[in-house]
Structure formats: C-alpha cells, structure tokens
A and B are shown apart, each in its own frame.
Chain A
C-alpha cells in the first residue's frame, strides 16, 4: 500500500510503452500530481523531452512527436483535449485520464478525432497527490468545503472529493467497509456516496478477495481541531508549519543572501536519502544527524577541519565545489535546519510549544496566567498568541467564556487588530463548542481524551513538546484493539468483527504532516497492519485558521 509507488507505476506505464520522442501534456491538477512523484532525469531517460500544459494554446505544431496526455476528466480539460484533437499538433496521441470518463466525454473525443491520431485511451486512477508512502492529499485547499451550513457540503467540492477518494480506492485496489464519525453530517454523506459509487462501478471495484475487508475510516477535522494548532517538532511537519511545503517544494527565497540554487528546494523521500531517514525524526535527533551528515561528507574529503559551529559547516560546504553534488544535498539541509532553528529562537517557539502542549493535554490551575504572560511578551508572534487563546478556548471556553473574552481584549491591547481576533468566535462556531458542552460527554464529543496513557507504551517516553498525540492515532489504536464503538463510528453498511489488516483514513477538512508522521510510526511498529492517511488538503496552523475562517463564513 505504498501510494507513492502506485502513482509512480502509473506514470511509468504511461511513458514506457511508447518509444520515441515524446511530449507530455498535463492540466493544472495533473501537473501537481506528476511533479510530486516524477524526476526530470527519469522522464528524460524515457524520451519525454517536452512537458507542456494543455491549457497553453500557443503550442506549436510538432508532428514528429508523440503526445502522452495525462488529464483530469474535468469539463475544462476534456474540452481542451477535444480542441487539441480537432487540430492536432502532434503525430499521435496516447490519452490517460486520472478518473472515470463519462460515456458522452468518450464520444465527444472520438468525434473530434477526425484525423485518427489517438492510439490509446485509458483510465489511470492517479487523481491525488501522493505525498509520502502512506500519505495522500486531494489538494483542495482552495475549495470551500461547506454549503449553506456547517452540516452540508458545497456541491462542487463534494463531487470533487467523491471522485478523488474513489480514485484513491481504485489506485489502492481496495473495496472497503466504510465507517464514519457519528457527529459528522459531512462524513456520513461522503461515506454513503462512496458506498453508492462502489456499487455503481462494481466492475471496477471487483478485486481479489481479502482475508478481511479493508476499512475506510472517514474522519472530520472538527473533532480534532487541536492537532493543527500545535507547533510541530518533527522535520517534515516542522518545515510545513514554519516555512510551508508546497507540493514537495520549499520556498527559501526569503532568507537573506541565499544562494540561487537554494531559493527553492525539493523535499522528497524518494530522491533524498537524508530526508527519507530524517523526515519523521524530532528536532533534537535531526540536529545530531545533520552534524553526522556533514561529518561524513567531511570524512570523504580526508579533511581534518574541525566543524564546531554552524558557520564552520557553512564554510566547509562552500569550500568544496568539486563535491557539489553531495554538498548540494548537505547544504540544502543545513540551510533548512538553520532557518528552522533561527525561527525557533526568534519567536520563542520552545516556550510557546510547552504551553501549547500543557493546554492540549492537562488541566492546570495557572494556564490562564501563563497565556496572559505570553500575550504580553515581545518576542512572540501574533499568530502564536492567537493560537494559545484558541487552545485555551477549547479547553476552558465552554465553562469560562468570560475569560476567553478577557483574553481577546488582552490580544487587542497588545496590538492585534480586532478583526484578527474574530477568529476566536469563528473557531468556537467551527468546533461546535456550545453543542459539545450540552451533550452527554461521549468519547467522540470530547476533543481532549482524558486517558492519554494509550500512547505511552508506544512512544516509551514523554517529551514536553510532544505530549499531545493526534486523535487519529488514538482512534486507529482503538480500532486495532477492537474498542472503536459502532455507535460512535458507525458502518455505512454491514459490520465486521475481524481485526482489520488494511486501513484507509480520509480526513474531511484536511490532515497534517504531524498526523502523517504518527501514522508512519504506527505502520512501523505494528507490521501486521497497513494504514494510509489522507485528506482534502494538508494543513499547517496558518492554512487551518484560513480554513476555519472560510468555514465560519457560510
């Protein structure tokens, strides 16, 4: 169930079977899919010498090239394909669509192909971004999820989500039993539509029998709004939180005097061994590993220079241009980790994180005081301050609304605009704080689990900055122990008593790299189960708060 490998296999199949000079035509969506998993050298070695967008209408006629198209079957892309076939620029066409085509779409393309240039038409269900081997995203960050209330889907987003998740299941070759969270109307609707789709496309979903059926677990972000608010301390998650990862790329151009080749770097576990080995490690281990990495690099030079500071490292790396290739990767990670480190100091993130973790994990009598203290402090960002108030609100807000309002005023007194503090009320609305207060406290309605010892055995140790574990990790462990109650996590159809062996999670409202890391760790430690996580998008705090703001606007 390695979703990156599956996506790569789709691409290989597209380009391997057609020898000769090729152009690869993509649309806006598939460009993102492909760029996350394919390398230029791989494409070149398979004679893909041009890559272009189907949206680009000024392409030239190059009849001697074969054309591989990988497109979403969106109305727009299909129309562009039809236009292309009417006046073909290339000698022959091999069409691959990332999702199910309608009959009329096929007929319209066939009608347009009067020059008989199409050699192949296939559906390859790679309609998602394969981020890590067990983490995918539908890339819907710019979509409004909600319709006219927080209990309804936006129609377009719903259609798009169903198609995306259906493609994930087809790519994984899984016909799952579907479970959802009882308090999520969106989850229920998605679960029943996916179930309907599986029955509609029963031919496509006709896979070999499993010992026990896979589980598709549909979760709703609103039931764990805490995880995306916390500072992250593992490499990949930290980079996304503090700098931002956009489709595997990190923009470092804001660092002053950055070298041109480091302005945009690629973080790919597939192509970068150092990243692969360290992406899930915490900041402490990472620092030591990067020191070893530089040492190893240094030893290869039989050089006796002693590296004792980050400046030594930088100097060293720059002094050996003949080892550019290796040093390229070394200096990439040194630069990135230095920048993370700088941000951690500058914005007092260790202090912020400690308080965040306390707020997220235990009731403490002096929480209010500590939040107030940090709001008054200088070297802490406005974002951090707002985050702390939000975490305080989740923990204490249902009883102590007055204190929340006081904190809001304190934020304003400390220079944060009234407009920005509106997020507090928007957040209360999004997480349905008032409903949760009134209802009988059931496991699903408490955002904070009381007994956090579940994870103790797994992690073995407690860390001040990583005390909190994501709800999705807890939920999966309950599921594996057979303790996930049917009443709270109902099946859309049927039910099963066997312990699942394959689990696919889908998070409505977006997942996080921190959660991906938790899932990766579970996979590592429980080898008789495979778990894969995904969602409508990938959040850091910033994007999550934008999402909440957007949600509260319906």
Chain B
C-alpha cells in the first residue's frame, strides 16, 4: 500500500518500539485488534534509530504540557510553533548556526509583540492613561521562587518565566499566567474596567460565574396560577349553575320514579330547566345520532355525550336518583369538586413505601451521628472511649434494625399482587431503588471495631418505639392478607393454578411475617 512518497520520520501516539517488539510479533499473525493497531502504528513510525529528530520530538512532547500554548512565528523561518519553549527548541535544532545576538534580539521583540497581540495584555491599552494598579499585595521576587499554581511548583526563572498575577499578586510560571482579565484599580475583577491585566489560571477560572452549571430558567408558576385563578372564578359561576340544574334534574327524576306509570311529559319538564338549543343548520343524518345535553342544552354528537349520575344533593352520594345525558364539558365542570375531593383508597404499595420513607428518615438522623463517633473511635481521638463505643454500638443496632426493615418492606412491595403493568413497574423500581439505598448507606456499618463487653442499650425507649413500629406494620400486613385472600379465592374460582401457587406462597410469607412480629411484640411487652 505504501509508495515512494517520503513521510515525516516521526512517531505517532505510543512508542511501540523496543520493549513492545515482542508484543508486536505475537499479535501480528492473529489478525485481530492488536494486529491492526500495530499495523496502524507501524505506518506512522518509519523510525530509524539514529534519527535525531525523534529524540527532539520526544522531548517536545514531554515538555508540551508544561509549555506555553500560544502560537509563535519563528523569526527566522516563519514556521508557526506552539509555545515559547518549543520555539526555543526549534531555534536550537533548526537554526543553531544562525544563532547570533541579532537574531535573539529580534526574536525577543517579535515574541513580545506577538504575545501582547494574542493575549491582549497590553495592546491598545498601553496608553498614557493606563492607571496605576494596586501592587501592594504582590509577592516579592527572590532567587528561589516556585510557581504558586497548585501542583505546578516549577522553579521560576528564565526557562519557565516569572510573573506576578495582577489579581492575587502571587508569582507564577509563564504557563499559569497566560490569562488576561479586566481589573479595577484595586486589582479586583471588574468587567467594566477598560484595562486588561495578566492574571493566573486560578484567578481566571475562579471568577464569579465562570464555572456556572446552572442554565437560565424562567419561573412561570405565578403567571400560571394567576391565569388559572381568573379562569376558575369564571368557571365557578358556570359550575354553580350546572350543579343547580343537575340537582333539579335529579329532583325531577325522583318525582318521576315515584309516580311510576303516570305519564309525564319528561321532555317538557327537562326543557323547563334548560332551554334546548335548536341547530337549524344540521339535518339529522342516519350515521351520527345527536342528543341534547341536559345541562347546557346544546346539540352534541353521540361521541361527545354520555350518561351521568343524578344526585338531588351533589355532595351526597346517597341522593342518587337516576341518570341523564350530558356533554363531556358539562360533566367535567359539574363534577369538578366531586372529583377533586374524592377520597381514594390508598394502595398497599403507597402505605408500605411510606414506611420505607419513615425508616429512611430515622437512618438519616442517626447515620451522621454514628459516622461522627466512628471517626472519633477509629482516629483514636476519642476522649471517652467506652462511652463513645457504647453509643456507636447503640446507633449501629438501631441502623441495622432500620436497614433490615427497609429490606423487608421492599421485598414485600416486590411481592404485592397487582394486575396493572404500571403498578408492577412501580413496585419493581421501588425495590430496585431500595437496594441502591442500602448499598449506598450501609458501607460504614462494618467499620466499628469488635469489642467484647457489649453494652446494654436503653431498652425502654427503644421498646416503645419498636412496639409502635410493629403495630403499624401489622396493620399493613393484615390489609395485605385480606387482599391476598381475595385474589386467592378469585384465582381458585377461575382455576388459574399458576397464580394460586404464587398466591399461596405470598400468603404464607405474610402469615409468617405476622407471626414473627406477634412473637416479637409479646416478647417486648
């Protein structure tokens, strides 16, 4: 695949030679990944051992990260070079014989000019009006300074440069002061200042808002609630009107029910409650039958009309007296409050999850205290070791109890019978979430050192709490038992024996758990 074209004799990426030659041989015939990589590298490394360029290159790359990252044009050949250090090397290797005082001087001037141009440090601002900036806080230069940038610590001098940050005043190498900011006369960041100064990387990146990760947001909640309020005020008038009509219709229905057999002109009576609107433009067609909504009187297509229940007192379900036809919209409005205030049966999963949350809240108050003591004990900084140890043990037992409880509850949630795929997913995910919770929070439990004289916990307080817990759990379990029995009977009836079997197991689990808790309850009290 190669031809006679000459390629730059340089390595690329990893240095496969020497110590990797074995590795190269082995993989070449396997026609696998490594083969290709070696192939890939080989094409890029037509490297001869006596190639001086290569040595230079390696030092190039090594120094790369520590050098400047601006481009400089070589003053002799005009090649663009990244960083002053590389420029030095370029001059050393490529233009060694030309190196004379003049060149260096011109290099200096040129570099200076370019640096200023690129970083915008002095540029256009080098006017006589440049104010005196506060330098009182500057670190004094000595013969033995190191760069103040964390983990840099390069010795400062001709090679790495030496520069005070105009902002914090500390001394840094060239690389770590290759940043410019607008500063006020008192050397504070000030975007309104017309003057740019060289600053260090720390000052540059710790500017207010520089590392911001919060995107713009707009909160429209108030506008929304305002709009909704206006709308609901209007809606209430209509709502009351419709409720009134509904209750009248219910009354009417109730009267009709009483006067069974006696013919009444129901239509006329209904129309006395609301005027039926005639729709002249519409000719009744045979496909879509249309009806009058008994609440608003409009003519509505059969898709949008449905039967609604009638109550002589809308708030009292016992006053049901029959049904009538209503359009969707009227139905939604007339039953709005009824739907909003409806008490729905709390599903078992919700009850059990609330218990998990309760256990979690206990853990979240104890765990930090436990970890604190643990830290004291393990770092031997404990002042009252026996007391601390006793407390730690106490906390630890409490924590374990709660962790265990969460584990049990989540397993129970997992086993809750349901016919809904949504509840199934919900239950599975709660169980998954609990496992993650336990994994994340149980780590420090093992770190308490062993001790023989286990202390006695203040059992009274413990016990009363525990009794309450057990009683709550028993309530839930009993609910569940009844529910399971229901499903079980149903499955038996429908001869779904697979389900019967799983249900039997679940019932057994619940019964066992109930028994266990009852025993514990007896023991404590």
Interface residues of A (CB under 8 A from B): 2, 5-10, 13, 21, 40-41, 44-45, 47, 49-50, 59-60, 62-65, 86-87, 100-101, 106-107, 109-111, 113-116, 118-126, 170-173, 204, 207-211, 233, 281-288, 290-291, 308-311, 337-338, 340-341, 344-345, 350-351, 354, 364, 366, 453-454, 456-458, 460-465, 477, 480-482, 497-499, 525-528
30 examples of A-B residue contacts, CB within 8 angstroms:
A13-B214, A21-B350, A44-B433, A45-B433, A45-B440, A60-B420, A60-B423, A64-B346, A110-B224, A114-B232, A116-B228, A122-B219, A122-B220, A123-B217, A204-B216, A209-B192, A211-B191, A211-B196, A284-B14, A284-B44, A287-B33, A288-B37, A337-B33, A457-B79, A457-B80, A457-B81, A458-B82, A462-B12, A463-B44, A528-B180
A140 nearest CB across to chain B (Å): 21
| Distance in angstroms between the alpha carbons of A101 and B221 in the assembled complex | 12
Which residues of B sit under 8 angstroms from A119, Cβ to Cβ?
A: 221
New contact pairs (11) apart from A50-B429, A62-B426, A464-B7, CB-CB < 8 Å: A6-B215, A44-B436, A106-B220, A113-B228, A115-B340, A288-B14, A456-B80, A457-B83, A462-B8, A463-B44, A525-B69
Which residues of A sit under 8 angstroms from B452, Cβ to Cβ?
A: none
User: Which of B204-212, B316-324, B395-403, B498-506 faces chain A?
Assistant: B204-212
B495 nearest CB across to chain A (Å): 27
Q: Do residues B124 and A497 form an inter-chain contact, with CB atoms below 8 A? A: yes
A364 nearest CB across to chain B (Å): 8
| Distance in angstroms between the alpha carbons of A513 and B500 in the assembled complex | 56
Which residues of B sit under 8 angstroms from A480, Cβ to Cβ?
A: 118
> How many pairs, one residue from A and one from B, have CB atoms within 8 Å of each other in the complex?
259
In chain B, residues 329-344, which have Cβ atoms closer than 8 Å to a Cβ of chain A?
Answer: 332-333, 336, 339-340, 344
Q: Do residues A284 and B37 form an inter-chain contact, with CB atoms below 8 A? A: yes
CB-CB under 8 A for A106 and B227, given A233-B40, A461-B10: yes
CB-CB under 8 A for A123 and B40, given A209-B192, A284-B12: no
| Distance in angstroms between the alpha carbons of A209 and B194 in the assembled complex | 13
| Distance in angstroms between the alpha carbons of A60 and B419 in the assembled complex | 12
Confirm or deny: B13 has a beta carbon within 8 angstroms of a beta carbon on chain A: yes
| Distance in angstroms between the alpha carbons of A223 and B124 in the assembled complex | 34
| Distance in angstroms between the alpha carbons of A197 and B333 in the assembled complex | 40
In chain B, residues 156-213, which have Cβ atoms closer than 8 Å to a Cβ of chain A?
Answer: 178-182, 191-192, 196, 201, 204, 208-209, 212-213
Q: Do residues A457 and B86 form an inter-chain contact, with CB atoms below 8 A? A: yes
Q: Do residues A170 and B215 form an inter-chain contact, with CB atoms below 8 A? A: yes
B55 nearest CB across to chain A (Å): 14
Confirm or deny: B385 has a beta carbon within 8 angstroms of a beta carbon on chain A: no
Which residues of B sit under 8 angstroms from A282, Cβ to Cβ?
A: 12-13, 40
**B46-75 interface code vs A (CB 8 A; 1 in, 0 out):** 000000000001001100100001110000
Confirm or deny: B384 has a beta carbon within 8 angstroms of a beta carbon on chain A: no
Residue of B nearest to A45 (CB): B436
B230 nearest CB across to chain A (Å): 8
Q: Do residues A123 and B218 form an inter-chain contact, with CB atoms below 8 A? A: yes
| Distance in angstroms between the alpha carbons of A49 and B350 in the assembled complex | 12
Which residues of A sit under 8 angstroms from B83, Cβ to Cβ?
A: 457
Confirm or deny: B120 has a beta carbon within 8 angstroms of a beta carbon on chain A: yes
Q: Do residues B215 and A172 form an inter-chain contact, with CB atoms below 8 A? A: yes
| Distance in angstroms between the alpha carbons of A209 and B70 in the assembled complex | 26
Which residues of A sit under 8 angstroms from B60, Cβ to Cβ?
A: 460
Chain B interface residue count, CB cutoff 8 Å, equals 98
Q: Which of A21, A285, A345, A528 contacts B178 (CB 8 A)?
A: A528
Q: Do residues A291 and B216 form an inter-chain contact, with CB atoms below 8 A? A: no
Confirm or deny: B456 has a beta carbon within 8 angstroms of a beta carbon on chain A: no
| Distance in angstroms between the alpha carbons of A121 and B70 in the assembled complex | 47
Confirm or deny: B446 has a beta carbon within 8 angstroms of a beta carbon on chain A: no
| Distance in angstroms between the alpha carbons of A111 and B336 in the assembled complex | 13
Which residues of B sit under 8 angstroms from A64, Cβ to Cβ?
A: 344, 346-347, 350
Residue of A nearest to B440 (CB): A45
Q: Do residues B212 and A173 form an inter-chain contact, with CB atoms below 8 A? A: yes
Residue of A nearest to B230 (CB): A110
Q: Do residues B1 and A341 form an inter-chain contact, with CB atoms below 8 A? A: no
B7 nearest CB across to chain A (Å): 6
Q: Do residues B209 and A499 form an inter-chain contact, with CB atoms below 8 A? A: no
Please give me the 4 A-B residue pairs with the lowest Cβ-Cβ distance, nearest first: A287-B37, A457-B82, A110-B227, A341-B33
**B1-20 interface code vs A (CB 8 A; 1 in, 0 out):** 11101011011111010000
Q: Which of A110, A204, A286, A481 contacts B231 (CB 8 A)?
A: A110
Q: Do residues B215 and A354 form an inter-chain contact, with CB atoms below 8 A? A: no
B280 nearest CB across to chain A (Å): 30
Confirm or deny: B391 has a beta carbon within 8 angstroms of a beta carbon on chain A: no
| Distance in angstroms between the alpha carbons of A525 and B57 in the assembled complex | 18
A172, A282, A364, most chain B CB atoms within 10 A: A282
| Distance in angstroms between the alpha carbons of A125 and B220 in the assembled complex | 13
Q: Do residues B213 and A9 form an inter-chain contact, with CB atoms below 8 A? A: yes
Residue of B nearest to A108 (CB): B227
| Distance in angstroms between the alpha carbons of A41 and B180 in the assembled complex | 42
CB-CB under 8 A for A9 and B215, given A209-B192, A454-B80, A462-B10: yes
A306 nearest CB across to chain B (Å): 10
Which residues of A sit under 8 angstroms from B216, Cβ to Cβ?
A: 125, 170-171, 173, 204, 207
| Distance in angstroms between the alpha carbons of A59 and B219 in the assembled complex | 28
Q: Do residues A453 and B80 form an inter-chain contact, with CB atoms below 8 A? A: yes
Which residues of B sit under 8 angstroms from A62, Cβ to Cβ?
A: 422-423, 426
Q: Do residues A460 and B64 form an inter-chain contact, with CB atoms below 8 A? A: yes
Residue of A nearest to B239 (CB): A114
User: Which of B23-31, B307-315, B459-467 faces chain A?
Assistant: B23-31
| Distance in angstroms between the alpha carbons of A324 and B299 in the assembled complex | 67
Which residues of A sit under 8 angstroms from B132, Cβ to Cβ?
A: none
A285 nearest CB across to chain B (Å): 5
Confirm or deny: B34 has a beta carbon within 8 angstroms of a beta carbon on chain A: yes
| Distance in angstroms between the alpha carbons of A5 and B215 in the assembled complex | 10
B7, B10, B209, B227, most chain A CB atoms within 10 A: B227
Which residues of A sit under 8 angstroms from B221, Cβ to Cβ?
A: 119-122
B420 nearest CB across to chain A (Å): 6
Q: Do residues A124 and B215 form an inter-chain contact, with CB atoms below 8 A? A: yes
CB-CB under 8 A for A114 and B1, given A283-B37, A453-B79: no
Confirm or deny: B511 has a beta carbon within 8 angstroms of a beta carbon on chain A: no
Residue of A nearest to B422 (CB): A60
Which residues of A sit under 8 angstroms from B201, Cβ to Cβ?
A: 527-528
Confirm or deny: B223 has a beta carbon within 8 angstroms of a beta carbon on chain A: yes
Q: Which of B30, B220, B436, B440 contacts A101 (CB 8 A)?
A: B220
Confirm or deny: B36 has a beta carbon within 8 angstroms of a beta carbon on chain A: yes
Which residues of B sit under 8 angstroms from A464, Cβ to Cβ?
A: 7, 43-44
A10, A44, A115, most chain B CB atoms within 10 A: A44
Residue of A nearest to B336 (CB): A114
Q: Which of A101, A456, A465 contacts B43 (CB 8 A)?
A: A465
B328 nearest CB across to chain A (Å): 9
A381 nearest CB across to chain B (Å): 16
Confirm or deny: B425 has a beta carbon within 8 angstroms of a beta carbon on chain A: yes
Residue of A nearest to B81 (CB): A457
